[in-house]
Structure 1
Amino acid sequence: MTRIINSLSEISSNYDALFVDLWGCVHDGIKAIPSAVAALQDYRKSGGMVVLVTNSPRPRAGVVKQLAHFGVPSDAYDDLATSGDSARSAMYRGIVGQNVWHYGPVTDSRFFDPLEILENPLEITRVPLDEAEGIVCTGPFDSKSDPDSWRPELEKAKARGLKLLCANPDIVVDRGEVREWCAGAVAKMYTEMGGESLYFGKPHAPIYDLARRRLSKLDATITDDRILAIGDGILTDVKGGLDEGIDALFISGGLAAAETKTINQPNEDLLTAYLEKEKLDPPFTIGHLR
């Protein structure tokens, strides 16, 4: 059964590195969470390494810029791995073809920036749906839209047998007090309609492989049993970590705050019921990262 802790420092000495989710843990989509920033800074001062592992569809450089805008200082982390970079690598290897339909807001256009780490990347061209060989989904065109409005175009794509590359497996995020749909919701609908969706962020293996590569570039030889995954997504952050053989610290005050009645800490009975419903049992739980 999960152990509810009061601070990261209670268990941090057992780990040499952290794989930390961003949205709902380190920031709320608008601004940094001070207690989380302080906890990560203290952990790094003690010699630990922090790799931020996010399902953001943005390239790494874009997330670094976003973090600075939100007020997350650079000394709170060592490096980061994004679902966007993992998915971009697959796209430029041609996993959904050369001519792709971009399903997502124009603000995600940086997803299609050149990827210099690959040798001989495929030249990707964005085309209308009726000319596409595949779909690259970075999110709904409108994150607050009614999901039923997505169906007509997805039906057309399914009828053509197009594969959908999902750049962000998250279903929802909370931007401040507002809940918004993510690419994972589109991909889930497409799969339920009979289409094929391909995932590269949490809880799927490719992003953890990328996070480990980021860690190794820090001259760190750290085994999985010395890594702790931290996040508020029970089916992404927690499941992903556990599936990779990595311990997990569940942040109950993020996406599951209502279900667990978390203010400072979760209600123990409701937390137990929630974890039983999700069929997951992380080693540790805390209300908010601190």
Structure 2
Amino acid sequence: MAAAISRAWDSDLAWSFRHSPVAMLSALVAVICIGAAVLAPWVAPHNPFDLASLNLMDAFKEPAWMDEGDRDYLLGTDDQGRDVLSAIMYGARVSLLVGVSATAFAMILGVVLGLVAGYAGGTADAVLMRIADIQLTFPSILVALLVDGIVRAALPRDVHDQIALYVVIFAIGISEWPRFARVVRGSTLIERNKEYVLAARVIGVSGARIVFTHVLPNVLGPVLVIATLNLGLAILAEATLSFLGVGVPPTQPSLGTLIRIGNDFLFSGEWWITIFPGLALVAMVLSVNLLGDWLRDALNPRLR
């Protein structure tokens, strides 16, 4: 175990991370954001979604450092008396859950279809890549809106509200798979003609085993970079859908929902209700994107 840790610490990737102040700062911010979200039930000052603990008399309290602020509410309260800091922590849980789940779904689907298209070639390659090309002509947010709209029209409202979180994950994930598929397909086209693949074919190894045992590990580098960058896009897509009112239900508010609620009071003086959730969203997405940029450069052999 100690030897494995030592090898990991001395690896090129670890060396690049230790010598990149931007990557280290981004990782710190990302850890803080993710930690606050995951540990929200234990570290949040209040439970903003416990109706029994809400008091409308505490509504619209200013942040603690302002003249009419309250030390119990560091970032102030919203129109229902909910603590904004606690609401951000709980909202970030939903945003991260949707972002990670949608990215994982898009990655698995895109990697599988990319491997099939690149290794099989022929009709399968032509059909899958044309579908990907057609989908890439539409902005991802429009594809997600289309999927969500179809589900809303097909299901009763109460049923949709129960599965709304899964619908959003599916809608965002299905709109992002072509990015993974095209990159994996291109790498697979190169790998399938190399000697180790030809040797595996000669000794009778099945195509599925060659693809998932031999080819897949050699195309994962670019996939990890795309997944890291796509995570920020997925979180933004979820926030956009929730801001438009077609994302997660109000009973499971995300950062996008909090920003939409606070936007109604932005010009009446209660700016903190929307500004702080917006800053939390920016910090989370920016840190993830910067880590993705560092990972792309660190895994690029031309830059070593």
* TM-score, with structure 1 as normaliser: 0.28
Bigger radius of gyration, 1 or 2?
2
* TM-score, with structure 2 as normaliser: 0.27
Higher normalized strand content (fraction of residues): 1
